[in-house]
Amino acid sequence: MPSIEPLAEGASAPTFDFVSKEGVSGNTQELAGKAFLIYFYPKDDTPGCTKEACAFRDAYEDFRLVDVPIIGVSGDTQSSHDKFRKKFQLPFPLASDSSTFEIAKAFGVYGEKKFMGKVYEGIHRVSFLIGPNGDILKTYRKVKPDLHAQEVLMDIKELNSTQSHV
């Protein structure tokens, strides 16, 4: 089974559009000058994805305090995202990467997956911490949904203590 090749640290992060929880369109280019987190997940309202989203929700204030916005990305439609965001009171934007999976492909996180013996193509659970200059500071390939938010926060604090650009 071919593995995915997520963008590595130091690569420039592709830009993309997203919709805020208020329904306002945005683009990651608008975040230039600040660090932010992009997390890819397979599907709205499934057990692992809900755990991960709720962990980010629960840590949202901590991310806000370190001034690191969060953007979730999956192949679901914007309508599905709106329901998911409302159901779990998610305070951050979710980008729809449906039909062409252009965003996931640009980040190298779309590819062959296996679930219960079935092989199919889909988005892998991978996250990217993006620096203020648009370069990837850290790629998270092995994400544990319920622990990931705290892992990212620890990395942000560590980067802040050793560098002055997060």
Positions marked active-site: 49
User: For the CA atoms of the chain, what is the radius of gyration?
Assistant: 15
Alpha-carbon torsion 88, 23, 121, 41, what sign?
negative
Contact 157, 151 (CB under 8 A): no
- Please name the amino acid found at residue 138: K
Crossing angle of helices 78-88 and 47-58, in 10° steps, is: 60
Residues in the chain: 166
